[in-house]
Structure formats: structure tokens, C-alpha cells
Structure 1
Amino acid sequence: MIPTHFTRFAAIDWSGAKGARHPGIALALCETGTAAPILVTPPRGLWSRAEILQWLRDQSDTPLLVGFDFSFAPPHIARGAYLPGEPTPTTARAFWAYVDAQSGDADLGAASFLEARRGTHFYLGAADGTKADFLHFRACEAHHTAAGFAKPSTVYDAIGAAQVAKASFAGMRLLHHLGPALPVWPIDPVPHSGACVVEIYTTIAARAAGVRKGRSKLRDAAALDAALAVLGSRAHLPLARYSDHATDAILTAAWLRANAARADLWQPNALTPEIARTEGWTFGIS
């Protein structure tokens, strides 16, 4: 099914950092038309992950397509298990519950889940062994790489500025707590009405907006407006501060609006039912 009811589009730049309030979280929202996305103001200065969860619950009945920039599940297809040797569930939703039950971190964090398995499943530094031994990827990431794009990060690598592990596992906790309030594509079918959550990769939006490889981060008003214009959006309202998180969210919300009706993004040729229920897929990889 190709959804046609979405009239609102949001992108959330996510964070797996420890603590309860996170400068790395930004939420941008736009509606059908050409007005640039705007940043949604956090309730108390900086977003917490719990506040993002509540915001999503409040939007459940609205025609909202919302994208998160974290991996919705670890690889499963290539090795037949999320954490080989550990008796984990075999579907994404059940694995989210597994992560949540074993993560006592504040504000839906999951750093302790990774730290308890460092060297076994997760790479957190040289003491854990050879980093290449931890570089396992999902089917959608392998498909994207085979198409000539740069190799993505893996959720098993939890060190360095480019790592997505902590954010992804914190995100899995959020998805677990979201429960049935919003369907999560493609783990769940696309809804006929109401909101839907998809996984996004902000670099895809940047490339589509004409941002050159190696220059994905927009840090000034002129560069952001130039990229928005490529996506059919008018200029943005000036920001007090041009952080990567804010500009990523704004640009990706505009990209979601411009691409929400593309059949090839909702029905990728390589997406199988097994991949959908175990690993999910990144919206934007066809």
C-alpha cells in the first residue's frame, strides 16, 4: 500500500547520550505545501527522550509521517540472530522488549546494554579486539552499499563520532514503549489513517538536496536555504544556533514531504517479509 493521507511531516535527529536532557535531539515539523519546516520547541529547554515519546503519542491520530535517524533493529538476516550465542528473540518488536527489560538507564537510554556485552557483541575500544570483527550490517545497508553508496555505520560499533549504536538501542526502547500507538514501517503495515514512524538516514536527504559527499552537515543559513530550495521548500525561519542536529532535522523533514508518495520507497524490490519483521528498512533506500 502506498499511503496518500499524510499532510504533516516530521524528522527527529536522535541521541543515545547518557542523562535525561539531550542537546543532540532536534524535532522539525512541516505540513503539505512549500513552507520550510520549523523546529518544535522542547517543553523544558532541551528534549528528553521521554518527552519525544509523549509528543509522538499525542500525534497518533494525526496524518503525520515521522522519521527517526537510528537503526530500528540490529542485523539478523546475515547471521540468523541479533546477538549470536545469546538467546534473543527473533522479531524486531520482541527484541525491543528484550533491550528494554535489560536496560536500566535513565530516560530510555541503553548504554548499559552495550557495555554489558562489550567485546562479545559490541566494540567500545581497542581492548575489545579487532574492530573489523564487529562490522555486521543489515540487508538494507548491504543493498545500499551495493548500489554504490558509502558503507553505513553498524549498530555493533559503539565508539567514535559516527557511531549509531547507543542512539539505536535507546531508540529501540522508545519504539517498545510506543507500543501500538503508532505503526512502525515496515515492521507494521502502512496505516490508512493516522501517524506512522519510519527510519531515515539524514545523509540520503542531504544528497537529494544537492549537498556534496563529505559535506553533509549544514552549518549556516545560506547553505540550509540552498538545500531546502532543491527540495521545493521556501527559506527557513532564522535559527538562534545552526547546529548539525537542527539543520539535519529541518532538511530531512522537507525531504520526507517531497518523497512521501514515492511508490519505490514504500515497496523496495529487495524488501522481503522476513527482512521487514526482523530488521526493518530505511525509508529512502529503494
Structure 2
Amino acid sequence: MIRRQRIFSAFACIDWSGAAVPRPHGIAIALASGQTAPRLIEPAGGWSRALVLDWLVDHARRGTDMLIGFDLSPALPFIDANAYFPGWHGSPKGPRELWRLVDSLCSNDPHLSATSFVDHPDISPYFRRHGGREGTLFGVGIGRLRQVESHQRATGQARSASCFNLVGAAQVGKSSLTGMRLFSRLEDRIPIWPFDPLPERGPAIIEIYTSVAARAAGVPAHRSKIRDSEALEAALACLGSPYQPVSRLDDHATDALVTAAWMRSTAANADYWHPEPLTNAIAQQEGWTFGII
């Protein structure tokens, strides 16, 4: 795998959602370009996952010089058991095969949702679902983790949950699975780091955790969300970013705004592109969260 870094002129954060509705309120996109204040991109009626896909395809077509961060996990744990679904004959061999499997099994699920995937009789035993339905293959404790998730928990950089957990406010499984459907339909139009090397030009996608950006912006762990203009302005100032008033001040919008500014302030940090624990096997099978070193 070739690892390199480059200069981008624009930075977009996509706060994602796993809600099985036409236009999830949890989707927010913020853009930080040049030295201006980050701003929200808000289509009439709000974002749908299909509209986000169209937005990405348009930037791929135009070759926009943009780094795009998605707040989701682009793959499931693999390294710990040498399989995404150990013991199942249909377990995908790599991330793109996983994305295609999720999308194909959910082809009848509207809004790029992923209900059919976790309801599949061979796959559901690996997940913890609502209603006390903990699969017999879910594992112990918090469930299986990717290597980046184990590392950031051990080092105190973040505390993400297992993608196989679909229960609770901290769960990321639903949003990650719907994101995999989107990545499958994106059809390699935009490279996704570190599965792919960074392109010489045009857009690239990375995985981010908005909580990592919040900590860097001075938001204390016990107050992980920003819900007022004063706190947003202070967080952006901590990142060296100007502020301008925005029409939306919920968790999703402010997460996206702060993270876009954080990406702009950190994208030149070589340590983030070359974290010591990131091996070729991890990069190819599980991916890595930008900002975890």
C-alpha cells in the first residue's frame, strides 16, 4: 500500500445517520474552505442518503480538491478472527465485497437503510439488536472491535462502540451499515483512505470521529455536544477558525461544523496519515480513523 499525504483546499464533514427514514435529521454536511468560517450545506427539505450520494458523485465528476470525512465505520472487525463473520461460509473477504453484500441483501430496503442485513438468519447472530436480541455470536462484553477501536480505547483517544452493537445512544452499527451501502453505490469514484492511496488530485474520503474533533476543540468529555452559538464560536476559535452564525444548532450540525474546521487544521499532520499501529493488513481489511495515532 502506498501512503502519502497532500494538500487539500476544502474539507467537508458528513455527520451520518442509520435511521430508516427518507431524510434522516441526523445527516449534516459542513464545508470549510480557504480560511473562511465553516458553513452548513443544506438542501431544501434536508438530506437523504441518495442526495448525499449524488453530491459525492458530482464532486467526483468535477474533481473537487476536497477531503471528505464520514462519521462512521467503513468496515467491520476482521483482524481479530481473520473474518468479518467467523464461521460463516458467506463471510466477505474484504471491505468492498462486504459493501456489496450489505447493499445486495438490502436491495428492497428503502432509503439505503440496512434492516434486511441484520435480520438475515445467517448474519443476525453476530449482532446485538433491540428487544434483548443478543446474537449467540456477538461475543462478550462490548463486542468485537476493529484494531483502531481497540487502540483508541487503550490509549484514551476515544471510546467507540462495536459495530456489531445496534443498541444505545453510542451505537454506530446502523449508520456504518447504511454507509457501506452508499460506498458500494459510489463504485470507487472517490478513493477511500486507507483502503486506497490518496489520489494526486480530486476528492478523497476518510473516516473520522466527531468526538476526537470536539476534544481538540476544547469541548470537555462530559459535555460532548455543542448546542449554542457561544460554545460553537469558542470551539472554532480553539481550532483557529473564524465563526459565522448558522441556522441550525443541533448536535449533528455543530459536530459537522467543528469537525470540518478540525480537518482543515490537522490534514497536514503527517502523523495522522502514518499512524504507527496501522499495518497494511489493517488498512486493507478494516480501515483506520483519521486522527487516531
Deviation track 1:13-67 (CA, whole Å, cap 9, x = no partner) reads 101111221111000001121x22100012x311100100110111120100000
**Residues matched between the structures, number:** 283
2:100 is aligned with what amino acid?
A
The equivalent residue for 2:273 is 266
Task: Measure, in 1, the Cα distance between the counterparts of 2:20 and 2:246.
Answer: 30
2:126 is aligned with what amino acid?
H
Gaps of 5+ in 2: none
* Residues 127 and 91 (structure 1), Cα distance of their counterparts in 2 relative to 1, 3 Å cut: closer
Task: Measure, in 2, the Cα distance between the counterparts of 1:179 and 1:145.
Answer: 32
TM-fit CA distance, 1:237 = 2.2
TM-fit CA distance, 1:132 = 6.1
The equivalent residue for 2:55 is 55
Q: TM-score scaled to structure 1, two decimals?
A: 0.94
1:182 matched to 2:183? The reply is no
1:107 matched to 2:111? The reply is yes
Task: Measure, in 1, the Cα distance between the counterparts of 2:158 and 2:277.
Answer: 18
Q: Kindly indicate whether the alpha-carbon contact (under 8 Å) linking 1:16 and 1:111 is maintained by their aligned counterparts in 2.
A: no
Q: Kindly indicate whether the alpha-carbon contact (under 8 Å) linking 2:218 and 2:238 is maintained by their aligned counterparts in 1.
A: yes
Matches within 5 A, 1:6-45: 6-33=8-35, 35-42=36-43, 44-45=44-45
Q: Kindly indicate whether the alpha-carbon contact (under 8 Å) linking 2:53 and 2:186 is maintained by their aligned counterparts in 1.
A: yes
The equivalent residue for 1:238 is 246
1:252 matched to 2:252? The reply is no
The equivalent residue for 1:277 is 284
Q: Kindly indicate whether the alpha-carbon contact (under 8 Å) linking 1:5 and 1:192 is maintained by their aligned counterparts in 2.
A: no
TM-fit CA distance, 1:164 = 0.7
Q: TM-score scaled to structure 2, two decimals?
A: 0.92
Task: Measure, in 1, the Cα distance between the counterparts of 2:30 and 2:185.
Answer: 22
Q: Kindly indicate whether the alpha-carbon contact (under 8 Å) linking 2:17 and 2:175 is maintained by their aligned counterparts in 1.
A: yes
Task: Measure, in 1, the Cα distance between the counterparts of 2:91 and 2:189.
Answer: 24
2:258 is aligned with what amino acid?
L
TM-fit CA distance, 1:119 = 5.4
Matches within 5 A, 1:145-156: 145-156=153-164
Q: Kindly indicate whether the alpha-carbon contact (under 8 Å) linking 2:125 and 2:135 is maintained by their aligned counterparts in 1.
A: no
TM-fit CA distance, 1:115 = 2.6
Among residues 200, 207, 215, which one is paired with 2:208 in the alignment? Answer: 200
Task: Measure, in 1, the Cα distance between the counterparts of 2:115 and 2:37.
Answer: 35
Higher mean C-alpha deviation, range 112-121 or range 127-136: 127-136
1:122 is aligned with what amino acid?
F
Task: Measure, in 1, the Cα distance between the counterparts of 2:19 and 2:38.
Answer: 25
Q: Kindly indicate whether the alpha-carbon contact (under 8 Å) linking 1:12 and 1:28 is maintained by their aligned counterparts in 2.
A: yes
Among residues 99, 107, 110, which one is paired with 1:96 in the alignment? Answer: 99
1:246 is aligned with what amino acid?
A
Gaps of 5+ in 1: none
Q: Kindly indicate whether the alpha-carbon contact (under 8 Å) linking 1:2 and 1:261 is maintained by their aligned counterparts in 2.
A: no
Task: Measure, in 2, the Cα distance between the counterparts of 1:189 and 1:127.
Answer: 39
Q: Secondary structure at the match of 2:257?
A: helix
Task: Measure, in 1, the Cα distance between the counterparts of 2:156 and 2:40.
Answer: 33
